[in-house]
Structure formats: structure tokens, C-alpha cells
Structure 1
Amino acid sequence: MHDVFADDGPVQLFIHDDGETPLEFVQDLLRTVFGKSQQEAIATAALIEARGAVPCGPYPGAVARAMFNSAKWLIRSNGHPLMITGESADASRPCDLCEAPKAVTEIILSGTTASLCRDCLLAARRSSEELPSHEFRYAFVALDWHFAGVPRNLIVTRARQFPGHMRADVQVAIDRLLTDPIHFFGIHEEYRYETIGFASLMKDSRNAPAIAPPQYQDVDIGEPEPVKCLVNGLWLCRSGTLRYAVLLTYHREYDREPAVRIEIALPAGTAGDAFVQPTFAALEAAVHAAQSYRGKILSLEGGSDYRGRSRGVTVHRLPTVARDDVILPERTLRLLDRNVLGFVESRDLLRKLGQSTRKGILLYGPPGTGKTHTIRYLATNLPDHTTLIITAEQVGLLGAYMNLARLLQPAMVVIEDVDLIARDREDMGGPCEESLLNKLLNEMDGLKEDCDILFLLTTNRPEELESALAGRPGRIDQAIEVPLPDETGRGKLIRLYGKGLPLEQPVIDEAVRRTEGVSAAFIKELMRRLAQASIIRDGGGEVTTSDLDGAVSEMLFDGGRLNAKLLGGAQGMSVG
């Protein structure tokens, strides 16, 4: 025996059945000394009993000697007659398939262990393509068969990671690229915040990741059908003679946006290097080409904390707003058309003339005057533009929004109530607001002159922005006031919001006179109260000036100054 170990060549150790040693002891020996998993130990112990002897290895001579001595000590300590012998790998047990006296490697599939030479191992690997996927219960078994003949230390992995809000695009790209795998599996994810990788998939311990049904989640992209996105997936693939595997997983960190991770495993060497770079390039190109959200109105889903960490993308389905439905003074509409719609139409010519194609617009005016409605008009009438709507609470997500804007340009980035991020920390009582306006202005500074991104900011308090914006000239190219409606505008608003009411012209004229100085939001609420009064009196058959008197009095005077302010009403108005 010692002569076998003396030359330090590879050694095969054989465990012999003696009919007396308990099976449990043999299994324990296989786990503690030979590093077998629970499943492998059970299968190997059964083969020892059935065949009389089973080889383990081959191992380097020094390693085989240490394992042999450890096994003998355990056997003697427990008083068992189990016998272990060693042979030079050159004189080891013949291959189970071809019976040639070659060095063999053990492979376990569905509880059966086979000792195969390299040639038979490769043949078995090829035959695994014909095996149904349900034959593979654990990920490491499937990967061992797929990469049979390649030592694990000669398998390398490369990875790419995409933001979680690009999950639908990544799925579309994967579906296009991996159309004909040898096998495809879902993976059981035991721990939510532990990212699955090939290193963990190849563990053959008692906690080995198991093959599981693929799990999909529907992701809304604003189309009639959602995109079915995998939670995780494992593809076993082939390109010519090169075997490779692709793993899609979710990388999670607590209170952070999840990321989609794509990892490729393949044999080390020049063939693998030459394959992996073009593959990742094709993946990235397919992700960018997918652009599931292009041309839509979006916002990132925010977390509950002030940082606004996102979990995904919300698609807003807004009805198209016609120009006639935007009740603004004509001069305001002309400014909007020239500085937004007209600017977008002339971008190509501006670029040819060396002019910047980015732009910043500030909409300002009292609350309830129609700034949000104006945004909807622009968002639904800008050709081929993606609109990103950011609330003040989500400015902490500005970096993610800007990445989306660059990816999906031409884009319009809308930041509503921007004055809320301009206040001092002491005023807000929050820990993050101090530099958010500067962060926004820096993002606007950092854009290339030829990018097709339009910023649209809104505020009810322009005085709180004046000093900051004046100190960074050129960020806002045009400020546009959205004023309280004039007489003509109030008449249009009354007809728009009261179009279902039986309004006679005298009532309309009186309503126009009585609503001087109020907001569009006030008029909308006034029409609802007129409808209520009419329903109570005669079931909605008529609206009278007394209905108007009661509604105006209740909104402006009966509830006090605060009620009038909340409803967007003017102060100092008379009842009659």
C-alpha cells in the first residue's frame, strides 16, 4: 500500500463491502473523509453494497495518503472491519462503459453513480441532451453533466448587471437570444436576499439549490399584454462544440432597487473568451433595442422612505388632451406651443446649426390654475417622446430617472412642485432636501448639448426658486406663467366642467361674473355643487341662479377664509 503513495502520482481509493459494517457508518465516512454530499453518500454506499467495491478519486498521492490514513483511523476507532485499498490511477478500476483501464471520474445522476473515463464521460454528456429536464433534480447535477470533463476550477463566469427598472427590456432581450437551449430550468431561491450565482449552484451539499418550476411575474409596460419576467432561470446552451450556461437572477440589497443579473459560465480558454464578449455585446444591444417603455408616460415606483428607492416602473395611461381643452390665455398657449411643441419640431435643424437641443421650461402660477392639465396636454401631444413624471419626494431617484431619460430620449422630464426641494433643511425638517435642487441643476448641467431631453418644472411659489435659478443662468430657458383664468377662460371652463348640466346662458354669464379671481379647480368644484343642488331640488332638471348663490356662498364664505383658500377661491368677493 505504501508503495502506491510513494511516487506521489494520482491514486484511486477503493471502499470494499464486508457485509458487517453498518451502512450508516459508511455514509458518514463518505461525507466526513471523502467530502460527499448526503445524496452522493447514500448513492455511493448503496453501490458499494451492490458491487462489492467502489472507487473514489483519483486524488494526488499526498492527498490520497491523508484521506486513507483518516479513513483507517475512523474505521479502527469504531471497531469495524471495513477495508479501503489504493491503486495507482493507471491501474485503477476500468471504465463502467468501455471497460478500458483508464482513469475514471464519478458522475451521479438520479441517485446512480457511474465511473467513466474521459471519452465515455463526453459521450454521456452528449447523451444528456436527450434526457428530459425532470431527470435533473439539483442544479449542480445538471451543471456537472453539462460541463462533464471540465474540472470545476477551469470553469469561469462573467456577469452583467442591469437596473431593476429595465427588467422588462432584459427579459425581451433574453427571449430573443436564448431561443434554443439544451435545457432550461427554474431555481429554488431559499434565501431572498442572497443572490444566486454559479458558485452557489454548484454546491453539492445538503442545501444544494434545487431545480424548480420557473416563476414569472407580470410586468406592465403599457401594452395590452404584460411582459412575463422570470424571477430566476438557468439555461444550458451550446455554440458549436462550446458548452456554456446562462443564469438570470435578481440581485437584492435591503432598501435598494433590485438589479437584474446575467451570469455566463463556460470553460476557461481562448474559445470562451472569444465567445463571451460578443455575447454580452449582443445582450446589451438587445436590451437597448427592446425599449419597452419608449414613447410612454412613466414614473418610478418609490419606496416609503424619503430617499424614494424604486421597485419598478409605473406606466400612466392618460387620455389625449386636445388643445381646445387647455383653457389658458392665448398668449400662454402661444408660448407653450413655440417653446415646447415648436422647439421639438425644429430640433434637427437646430442641431445642424450647432444649437443646443436640450431645454428647460418653468410653469408657475397659483395652485389649481391647470399646470398639471397643461403637462398632460404636452405629454400626450409630443410625438415619440417618453415622459418621466417625478414628484418632489422622488428627487432622490433623480439619477435613475436621468439614466432612463438618456436611454429613452427624446424625453420630457417633468418635476412637479419643484419649490418643495428648494427649501432649507430647517424648514422641511427632513435629512435629504438640502442639496436636491442643486442636484437637479447639476443633472441639467451634465447633459450634452445635443441630447433630446426637455425639462418641465412646475411651482406654485416661484419666489422660492428665483435666487437659485438666477445663480445658474441657462438652466431654465423660458418661464411661463399659468395665471388665474380671465373672463373668456372662465366661460370656457364653466362650459367644459358643466357640459352635462342644463345650464342656461344667463346662469353661465352670472357664474362668469361671480368667479372673478378664482382658479380652474374652484370652477370645477363649483359645477359639481351646482349639480348636487339641482339634483336635490328637482332631480337635475334645471340649474338656477339661486343654486349658484348657495354654492358660491358655501365655498367662499360659510367655511371661512381657510376653506376659500383650499378651494382656490379669491378673497373679498361679494355674494351678490
Structure 2
Amino acid sequence: MDDICTDVRSITLFIHNDDDTPVEFVRQLLRSVFGKSEREAIAFTALIENEEKVACGPYPSPVAKALLDSARQSISAAGHGLLITSETATTNGACDLCGAPATGSEIPLAGRTACLCNSCLLDVRRASEAVPGDEFKYAWLALDWHFAGIPRNQLVTRARQFPDHMRADVQVAVDKLLASPLHFFGIHEEYRYETLAFAALMKDGRNAPALAPPQYHDVEIGEAQPVKCLHNGLWLCRAGELRYAVLLSFHREYQHDAAIRIEIAVPAGAAGDALVQRSFAELEEAVHAARSYRGKILSLEGGSDYRGRSSGVMVHRLPAVGREEVILPEQTLKLLDRNVMGFVGNRAALRKLGQSTRKGILLYGPPGTGKTHTIRYLATNLPGHTTLIITAEQVGLLGAYMKLARLLQPTMVVIEDVDLIARDREEMGSCEEPLLNKLLNEMDGLKEDSDILFVLTTNRPEQLEGALAGRPGRIDQAIEVPLPDGIGRSKLVQLYGKDLPMDQTIIDETVNRTNGVSAAFIKELMRRIAQASIFRDGGSTVESGDISEALDDMLFTGGRLNVTLLGGAQEMAGP
């Protein structure tokens, strides 16, 4: 059945004859504001020269108001006196634009209805681009105007979801893909526990989603400025003559991580389908090419309830650790060089020879010997690598970590204190064993050409479950990080006491009296020697008594527990 509009009120604009305003200006105004072609503008100005005034329109009221305001601003800015007036017009079953029978569409806009014939529909769509966003109060009004003449059952939508921890990269990609929309709006969410979709946006009535100022959240990515990430937004766009809309929202599902959801609405048909496929391909390519987190040191923010949920990415701004600051035995350094630095540098050659480019390293040794310090050295010196640091209580997030690791390859995945979740199976509870299995499956399930390096640390290698420590493809090299020997202790004393006024005699005494201690112990010892020196003479000199005072506090006065906490040895020599 034909749609017949009756008694629809519209506005006709009249451009008055003005001998003082240049004809070229009038033609430019008709082209730039009213969307006339060059031929139409020439014909229109010829009519104006012979008539007192010439009608331009009629238009639906909001469109007429926008056109009139824009035209008057242009006239005023140019300093001319051209007069444009408006009059209310009433049509009876006629198209608001050309007067032909209105057998086309009814377009709702802010409580009004505009009647169109099919031949004028395209012109109305073009005119809608001039309508300011504040004319739309609800999402359904903006969408019905944007898709004027297309029944809702002829629209189709498709969606993609991205993990919430990729939010910054998704925002960068969306900004690139949707740089020039016809209109852009924020959406007010009345119920934050529901996922916002086009089906909800097209609902009218008292609970209709309202348009609102866009809401942004600052997401830190380890740079000078955070990324301004949109909470939700609606873009109305056009590609040639094809209209489409894009919705960004949060996907929410009970007991699952939130996700970033991108949904595209297009008219049904091959052209719309091709646009959606092209848009998603460009979006996914832009997301994978983004560099928000690549090459940085990261961990996921999340609880320790083992539900596998995360709430964002934390970027660790760790100071770079130079090679000279890694005080380890020469044999240990050679193992690190061959199995980490050398391995990473030769990955391309290994791949060419058909060899695996994934690897697992286990760093083991007593507490305080420098395992964490060694990892910081690797993290700040591996070229182009992203480092993911997982603590034992976060292994429940391993799935999310591994998705991130695959996306940001090459990556180094660090799991500290792995013995806490990899003890003998007989000692495990019902919660811990699935976590160990998840870790083993992730290490086993990587493709041979994955550029992922696992580095695990433990203070108690004897407690590691055999399947983790002994099976090739999970751990390829165990590297001991032992207590420092005399040469190592000398280097540590000079490193951590580089600003203290110590001569070689004091350095040698400190080394001789710290046999069996950890690197962490020496670092704390140098701080206490500095304190003793400050109390005695303001830090001008360091004497043997300062060493004795510091060692007494750390080893004897504090008791056995203090020695254990600081990484010392009970059998150390006295003064």
C-alpha cells in the first residue's frame, strides 16, 4: 500500500532579489549550502533576476532551520545583504520537496513527519547531513533519519568482539577507520549490565536509548599521554550512495571478561555485505598493526580468585638494566647469552632450517640471588620483545595472557615462583591442578614457529612437578642463579656502594665477611654501611666499624629469622 502523507507542515525558504549581491556569491551559496549542482545554481540565479523572490524547498522544519542558519552565517561573513526568508507550507498528500504525489517514505524526526516521493529520497538524505546533532534526541530517531526509506527489516548487522585489554589498540583503529562520519554521538546506557546493540538502539518509547555526550576513559599505555578510549559511540557514515552505521559498545557476560564490541548496520544486499567485510578487515588489520603495548613490559590487572578474569593492562616503567649491572658467574652469563640473547637473534635462521622458535627457560636458585634482576635485564634488552609478567596467583589469567602473547609476538612470558602452582601433584588441591594443566597445555600447544619465550623462576627446583621440569618442549634449559662467589661479591659491593667513600681495603674486608650471602643481602648491607657512616661522621668516610655495625644488625641482633629474610648465612665470619 502506498504511504500517503496528509496535512504535513513543512518550511519553504525564499531567496529575494538583491542587485547588490554578486551573482557568483549567490551561486556559491546555492552549491555549498543548498546542495545544488552547477547547472541548477545557474538556472536558479537567472530566475532570481526576473522575480522578486524564488522559492527554495519546501523542507522538513529541522532541515529548513539548519539550511537557513548556515546560509545567513555565510552571507554575514561575506558582508552581503542578501535576504532569505521562510514560510510555513502545508501539503496534502504531496512530496515536501517537489510537490509530486508522496508515494515514498515517511521520515520521523523529533516528533515531526516528512513526506517524500521516491525520486526525492536521495536529496533528503543529502540534506540530512546538514542537520545538527542536537536535533536528534534519541538513537532511533537518528537511525531512522539516516536510513530513510529503508524498512528496518531490510537492515542487517554484523559484529566483532575484541578483548578488553586490547581497548587502546581498538580505539586507535576505530579512529582511523571512522575519521570522517556524517554524524557521531555518544549513547546513554540506562542499564550497564546489558550489551548495547542496534536492536536496542532502534527501540522507541519511554526506555528508548538517548543520545548523549560521548564518554571517554584515559587508558595508560606507558607513554607520555594516555589513550582516550570511548565508552560507547554511534557513527552514521556513507560510502558513495551506501549508508551504514557503526556502534562501539561493551559486551558483558556473567563471569566473563568484558569485551569491546563493534557492530555495523547496512542495508541488506551484496553492496552492504562487501562494505562490512571490508570494514572489519581494515579494522582487524589496524588493531593488529597497533603499537600501544608492543615492546613494553606488561601485566594484567585482575583478582586472585582463579576465575580467569582481567580488568585491564598495567604497563611497568622499569629502568633499563645494563649488562655491567648483571653480576653473575661467567658460566651463567654464557648460558644466558646462548639460550636467550643468541637464540632470539638467530630465530630467523632457525626457522629457515625448519627448527622451532619457541623456548622455555627455568631460572632457579636461592632467594635474593638476582633472578628477578636478571629478568629485568632481559626485558629491557631483548630487541622488539613484549614482556608479560605473571605472578603465581595470576595463573588463573593465563588464557588472557597467552592471547596477548600471541598477538604481540615476539614476546617473553615470565612466570615467577612457578613452584607455587607446580608442586608435586599429591600435594595439590582441586583448584591448583587445573592451573598447572593449563600452563603445561599452553606451553605444549604453541605452534613451532611461535616467537614466544617462556622464562620461569623458582627458589625450590626440587619441588617442581616432574612433567614441567623434565619434558622437552616445556623447559629446554635450566640455568642456576647461584649465590655470588668472591668475584661476584666484589662487583656487587662496588655496584651498590659506588657513591660511598670506600678504599680497596674496605671493599676487600666487606667481600671477605660476606661469604654465603645473596646479592640482595649485599645491596641492603651497603645501605646500612652508608647509614652507619652518616651517623658517625656525616658520610665522609667508611671504616671497618661501619661494616661490623651493619652486619651485627643484620645477622646477630635480628636473630635467625632476620638472617633468612635478608638472604644471609649463619656461618658467616665475624669481625
Report if TM-score (shorter chain) is over 0.5: yes
Residue 160, structure 1, aligned to residue 160, structure 2: yes
Q: What code does the residue aligned with 2:267 have?
A: P
CA contact (8 A) 2:304 2:393 kept: no
Distance 2:456 2:215 in 1: 41
The Cα shift of 1:164 comes to 0.7
Q: How far has the Cα of 1:290 moved from its partner?
A: 1.3
| SS of 2:530 mapped into structure 1 | helix
Residue 508 (structure 1) shift: 1.6
Q: In structure 1, what is the Cα distance between the partners aligned to 2:210 and 2:544?
A: 75
Classify 1:393/1:342 alpha carbon distance in 2 versus 1 (closer, same or farther; 3 Å).
same
Aligned to 1:505: 504
Q: Which amino acid aligns with 2:487?
A: T
Q: In the alignment, what sits opposite 1:187?
A: 187
Deviates more, 1:520-529 or 1:530-539: 530-539
Contact 2:296 2:315 in 1 (8 A): yes
| 1:213 and 2:209 aligned | no
Name the amino acid aligned to 1:296: K
Quote the Cα distance in structure 2 between the aligned partners of 1:466 and 1:100: 83
CA distance in 1, matches of 2:5, 2:96: 16
* Partner Cα separation in structure 1 for residue 540 and residue 340 of structure 2: 43
Per-residue CA deviation, residues 50-91 of structure 1 (Å, 9 max, x unaligned), is: xxxxxxxxxxxxxxxxxxxxxxxxxxxxxxxxxxxxxxxxxx
CA distance in 1 between partners of 2:190 and 2:500 (Å): 60
CA distance in 1, matches of 2:191, 2:536: 64
Q: Which residue of 2 aligns with 1:560?
A: 559
> 1:510 and 1:254 mapped to 2: Cα distance?
63
Partner residue of 2:344?
344
- The answer to whether the Cα contact below 8 Å between 1:218 and 1:229 also exists between their aligned partners in 2 is yes
Deviation at 1:12, TM superposition (A): 7.3
SS in structure 2 of the partner of residue 361 of structure 1: strand
Kept in 1, the 8 Å contact 2:424–2:464? The answer is no
1:310 matched to 2:310? The reply is: yes
Residue in structure 2 matched with residue 26 of structure 1 by the alignment: none
Q: Distance in 2 between matches of 1:455 and 1:234?
A: 41
Distance in 2 (CA, whole Å) between partners of 1:373 and 1:462 is 19
The residue type paired with residue 526 of structure 2 is: M
The answer on whether the counterparts of 1:122 and 1:149 sit within 8 Å (CA) in structure 2 is no
Q: Secondary structure at the match of 1:234?
A: strand
- Residue 419 of structure 2 is aligned to residue 395 of structure 1: no
Tell me the alpha carbon deviations over residues 204-245 of structure 1, each in whole angstroms, 9 at most, x when there is no partner.
111211111111222222222222111111111111111000
| 2:22 counterpart residue number | none
Aligned to 2:12: none
- CA displacement at 1:562 relative to structure 2: 1.0
Partner of 1:286: 286
Q: Report the residue type matching 1:557 in the other structure.
A: F
| Structure 1 position 569, deviation (Å) | 0.7
Distance (whole Å) between structure 2 residues aligned to residue 458 and residue 470 of structure 1: 11
SS where residue 129 of structure 2 aligns? helix
> Which whole-Å CA distance do the structure 1 matches of 2:314 and 2:266 have between them?
37
Alignment deviations for residues 70-122 of structure 1 (CA, whole Å, 9 cap, x no partner): xxxxxxxxxxxxxxxxxxxxxx9444444444446443323433344444444
The alignment partner of 1:435 has SS state of helix
When residues 366 and 509 of structure 1 are mapped into structure 2, their CA distance, relative to the original with a 3 A threshold, is same
SS in structure 1 of the partner of residue 160 of structure 2: strand
- Which secondary structure does the structure 1 equivalent of 2:495 belong to? helix
Aligned partner letter, 2:212: A
2:302, 2:394 within 8 Å by CA — same for their partners in 1?
yes
Q: Provide the C-alpha distance between the structure 2 equivalents of 1:154 and 1:533, rounded to a whole number of angstroms.
A: 82
Structure 1 residue 542 displacement after superposition: 2.1
3-state SS in 1 of match to 2:381: coil
1:369 and 2:369 correspond: yes
Deviates more, 1:250-259 or 1:185-194: 250-259
Deviation at 1:574, TM superposition (A): 4.1
TM-score normalized with structure 1 length: 0.81
* 8 Å contact kept, 2:362–2:455: yes
Deviation at 1:333, TM superposition (A): 0.5
Inter-partner Cα distance in structure 2 for 1:109 and 1:102: 17
Give the aligned partner of residue 515 of structure 1.
514
In the comparison of the two structures, how many residue pairs are matched? Answer: 492
Match of 1:233 in 2: 233
Q: CA deviation at 1:307?
A: 3.3
3-state SS in 1 of match to 2:206: coil
Alpha carbons 2:2, 2:103 under 8 Å: kept: no
**Structure-2 separation of matches of 1:470 and 1:225:** 42
Q: Matched residues in 1 for 2:308 and 2:473: separation?
A: 28
After TM superposition, the structure 1 = structure 2 runs for residues 46-445 of structure 1, keeping only pairs within 5 Å, are 93-103=93-103, 105-303=105-303, 305-307=305-307, 309-423=309-423, 432-445=431-444
Q: Secondary structure at the match of 1:167?
A: helix
Larger displacement relative to structure 2 (165-174 or 251-260): 251-260
Match of 2:491 in 1: 492
- Residue pair 1:425, 1:433 contacting (<8 A) in 2 also: no
The match for 1:544 is 543
Counterpart Cα distance in 2 of 1:104 and 1:347: 65
Measured against aligned partners, the alpha-carbon deviations of 1:309-357 in whole angstroms (never above 9, x if no partner) come to 2111111122221111101011110110111101111111111222111
CA contact (8 A) 2:185 2:212 kept: yes
Which letter does structure 1 place at the counterpart of 2:180? D
Runs (5+) with no aligned partner, structure 2: 8-91
Cα RMSD for the two superposed structures: 2.2
Would the aligned equivalents of 2:161 and 2:261 in 1 still touch at CA under 8 Å?
yes
**Take 1:319 and 1:201, find their aligned partners in 2: how far apart are those partners?**
48
Preserved CA contact (<8 Å) 1:251 1:259: yes
AA at the equivalent of 1:213: P
In 1: Cα distance, 2:292 partner to 2:395 partner? 23
Check whether the contact 2:168–2:292 (CA below 8 A) recurs between aligned residues: yes
Local SS of the residue matching 1:434: helix
2-structure distance, mates of 1:232, 1:365: 49
SS at match of 1:399: helix
What is the letter of the counterpart of residue 535 of structure 2? I
Instruction: Using the aligned pairs only, state the percent identity.
Output: 75
Instruction: Call closer, same or farther: CA 1:516–1:308 in 2, change over 3 Å.
Output: farther
Q: Give the conservation status (yes or no) of the 8 Å contact 2:303–2:394.
A: no
Query: What SS does structure 2 have at the residue aligned with 1:515?
Result: coil
Distance 2:112 2:441 in 1: 63
For 2:122 and 2:199, locate their aligned partners in 1 and report how far apart those are by CA, in whole Å. 23
CA contact (8 A) 1:156 1:265 kept: yes
Other-structure match for 2:82: none
Contact 2:308 2:398 in 1 (8 A): no
C-alpha displacement at 1:197, in angstroms?
0.7
Measured in 2, the distance between the counterparts of 1:530 and 1:519 equals 17
Which digits, 9 at most, give the CA deviation of each residue in 1:480-532, with x for residues without a partner? 00000101111111111111222232222111111110111111111111122
Q: Deviations over 1:356-393 (max 9, x none)?
A: 11111100000000000000111111111111111111
The more displaced of 454-463 and 126-135 is 126-135
Call closer, same or farther: CA 1:113–1:466 in 2, change over 3 Å: closer
**Distance (whole Å) between structure 1 residues aligned to residue 112 and residue 484 of structure 2:** 83
Question: How far apart are the structure 1 equivalents of 2:320 and 2:504?
Answer: 29
Which amino acid in the other structure matches residue 263 of structure 2? E
Instruction: Evaluate the alpha carbon distance shift between residue 395 and residue 374 of structure 1 in structure 2; reply closer, same or farther with a 3 A threshold.
Output: same
Judging changes above 3 Å, is the alpha-carbon distance between structure 1 residues 225 and 11 closer, same or farther for their aligned structure 2 residues? closer
Going from structure 1 to structure 2, the CA distance change for 1:547 and 1:428 (only over 3 Å counts) comes to farther
Compared with structure 1, are the counterparts of its residues 451 and 104 closer, same or farther at alpha carbon in structure 2 (3 Å cutoff)?
closer
Shift of 1:304: 5.0
| Greater alpha carbon shift after TM alignment, 232-241 vs 97-106 | 97-106
* SS of corresponding position for 1:229: strand
Q: Classify the secondary structure of the residue corresponding to 2:195.
A: coil
- Cα distance in 1 for residues equivalent to 2:424 and 2:118: 71
Tell me what 2:20 maps to: none
Distance apart, 1:139 and its partner CA: 1.0
Deviations 1:108-148 (A, max 9, x none): 32343334444444432221111122222211111000000
Separation (CA, whole Å) in 2 of partners of 1:517 and 1:400: 41
CA contact 1:385–1:411 (8 Å) conserved in 2: yes
CA deviation map 1:246-267 (0-9, x unaligned):
1111112355322110000011
Contact 2:493-2:523 at 8 Å conserved across structures: yes
